Chains A and B, each alone.
Chain A
Amino acid sequence: MSQISISINGTQVTCAPNTSVLAFLTTQGLIQDISQDMIQNGMAVAKNGSILAKPLWANSSLQHNDKLDVFTLVAGG
Chain B
Amino acid sequence: MNNVDLSSDDISRYSRQLLLDDIDETGQANIKQAYAVVIGLGGLGSLVARYLVGAGIGKVLLVDSDTVEKSNIHRQVLFNQDHIGQHKTQASYAQLRLVNPYTQIELAENQANSSNLPSLISGAHCVLDCSDNITTRKAINAACVNQRTALFIAAASQYSWQAINLRCNGSDSGCYACLLAQTTVQEDCMSQGILGPVVGMAACFQATQALLYLASTNVESGVNPEANPSAEPKANSETQNTWGKYYIMNAATAQFQSFSLPAYKHCEVCQCHK
Interface residues of A (CB under 8 A from B): 37-44, 46, 49-51, 53-56, 69, 71, 73-77
Work out how many contacts link A and B, with CB atoms closer than 8 A.
Answer: 106
A71 to chain B, nearest CB (A): 6
Pick the contact of A50: B43, B157, B262 (CB < 8 A).
Answer: B262
Question: B155 on the interface (CB 8 Å rule)?
Answer: yes
A8 to B253, CA, bound (A): 18
A76 to B45, CA, bound (A): 11
Which of B117-125, B182-190, B219-227 lies on the face that meets chain A? B182-190
User: Do A73 and B162 touch (CB < 8 A)?
Assistant: yes
User: Do B185 and A42 touch (CB < 8 A)?
Assistant: yes
Given A41-B184, A77-B130, 19 other A-B residues pairs in contact with their CB atoms under 8 A: A42-B187, A44-B179, A46-B246, A50-B261, A51-B259, A53-B181, A53-B264, A55-B264, A56-B264, A74-B162, A75-B131, A75-B157, A75-B187, A76-B155, A76-B188, A77-B129, A77-B154, A77-B156, A77-B189
Which of B4-12, B98-106, B132-140 lies on the face that meets chain A? B132-140
Can you show 26 pairs from A to B with CB atoms below 8 A apart? Answer: A38-B183, A38-B184, A39-B182, A41-B184, A42-B184, A44-B183, A50-B261, A51-B260, A53-B174, A53-B179, A54-B181, A54-B183, A55-B264, A69-B257, A71-B257, A73-B179, A74-B155, A75-B133, A75-B134, A76-B156, A76-B192, A77-B129, A77-B132, A77-B154, A77-B189, A77-B199
Interface residues of B (CB under 8 A from A): 40, 42-45, 129-134, 137, 154-158, 160-162, 174, 178-189, 192, 194, 199, 202, 246, 248, 257, 259-262, 264, 266-267
User: Do A75 and B160 touch (CB < 8 A)?
Assistant: no
Q: Which residues of A contact B40 (CB under 8 A)?
A: 77
A23 to chain B, nearest CB (A): 17
B244 to chain A, nearest CB (A): 10
